[in-house]
């Protein structure tokens, strides 16, 4: 599981950074990719990345401001031309369905794959045998949501030596045991999963927030997460400006990370007043003064999601 930032700027793109889009690569876990927000130019960023639209399975939109969704119509229209013919699910606040339907209808765009648009107002919005995705309302000028992605615990490793002693060779029996099914061997012995499986591997948690001021739902969404992605639009000297525009400072992002007990904080959504990476260093220093495991997101860089320590 890895995070890949396609856009880290707030409001408008700059020569240095594009507007918001974050990919969660889950190739090992389910051979797919999920996208969180899709600002203008996102598909161009994908072309310059190792990401493949053919692997795109789900898109989650945090809110309906243009710097978070104006890239959607183009990406949806051209996805099939890049090998993306599998079904795609799109989640977002109320209004996302009308935006997509009108954009595609007026442009007479043809989509030759199954597109399902799901509007939500928080709560558990997706669950299968591998992942749960929860959402909650934040504090922005319009309804903006954060997403908590929880990977369910995975089966432990098979004890290959013990299986060998029972004469079990690699094949379908391995799969059944990994799925928690008991199997009967040729000699009539029933082998149970707990006899040959190690301890379960704890699932990881990623929290990705939309634009927000400090809000009651931030810490519950982030509590215990291995990685928290939080906007840090301004230095704390502009805290009043941040409040006025319903955004957060690097200090406020770090305070949320510390209170929630996360493993790492990755800050994004930077004001265009901070141009080069060097100009983001003061934000990083402010955050690390409160929460040492803080990072500023760099575009076209992979961030592995590792289980937090302690």
- Binding site for Zn(2+), by residue number, is 63, 65, 67-68, 140, 211, 269
Say if CB 155 and CB 200 are below 8 A apart. Answer: yes
d(CA 263, CA 265): 7
Can you tell me the distance from the alpha carbon of 146 to that of 63, in angstroms, rounded to the nearest whole number? 9
Rounded to whole angstroms, the Cα distance separating 238 from 232 reads 11
What are the counts of helices (DSSP H) followed by strands (DSSP E) for the chain? 12, 16
Nearest Cα neighbor of 173 from 25, 45, 207, 164 is 164
| Inter-helix orientation angle 250-260/281-288, to 10° | 30
Q: Per the residue annotation, which of 67, 139, 143, 226 is the catalytic one?
A: 67
114 assigned to active site: no
For residue 103, the surrounding DSSP H or E stretch is helix 96-106
User: Could you give the residue numbers annotated as active site?
Assistant: 67
């Amino acid at each position: 599981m890895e995070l890949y930032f396609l856009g880290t700027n707030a409001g408008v793109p700059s020569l240095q950074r594009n507007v918001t889009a974050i990919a969660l690569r889950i190739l090992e876990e389910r051979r797919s990719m999920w996208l969180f927000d899709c600002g203008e130019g996102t598909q161009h960023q994908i072309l310059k990345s190792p990401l493949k639209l053919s692997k795109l399975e789900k898109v989650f939109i945090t809110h309906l401001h243009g710097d978070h969704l104006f890239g959607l119509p183009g990406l949806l229209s051209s996805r099939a031309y890049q090998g993306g013919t599998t079904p795609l699910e799109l989640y977002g606040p109320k209004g996302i369905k009308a935006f997509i339907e009108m954009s595609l209808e007026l442009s007479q765009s043809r989509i030759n794959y199954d597109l399902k648009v799901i509007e939500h107002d928080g709560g558990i919005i997706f669950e299968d045998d591998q992942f749960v995705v929860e959402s909650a309302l934040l504090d922005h000028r319009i309804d903006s949501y954060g997403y908590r992605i929880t990977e369910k615990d995975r089966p432990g490793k098979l004890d290959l030596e013990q299986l060998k002693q029972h004469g079990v060779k690699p094949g379908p029996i391995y799969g059944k045991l990994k799925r928690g099914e008991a199997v009967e061997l040729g000699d009539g012995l029933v082998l149970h999963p707990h006899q040959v499986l190690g301890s379960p591997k704890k699932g990881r948690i990623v929290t990705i927030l939309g634009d927000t001021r400090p809000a009651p739902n931030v810490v519950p969404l982030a509590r215990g997460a291995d990685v928290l992605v939080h906007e840090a639009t301004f230095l704390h000297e502009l805290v009043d400006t941040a409040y006025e525009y319903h955004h957060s400072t690097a200090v406020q992002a770090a305070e949320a990370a510390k209170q929630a007990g996360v493993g790492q904080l990755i800050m994004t959504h930077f004001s265009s007043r901070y141009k080069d990476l060097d100009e983001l260093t003061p934000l990083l220093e402010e955050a690390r003064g409160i929460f040492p495991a803080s990072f500023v997101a760099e575009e076209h860089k992979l961030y592995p999601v590792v289980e937090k320590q302690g």
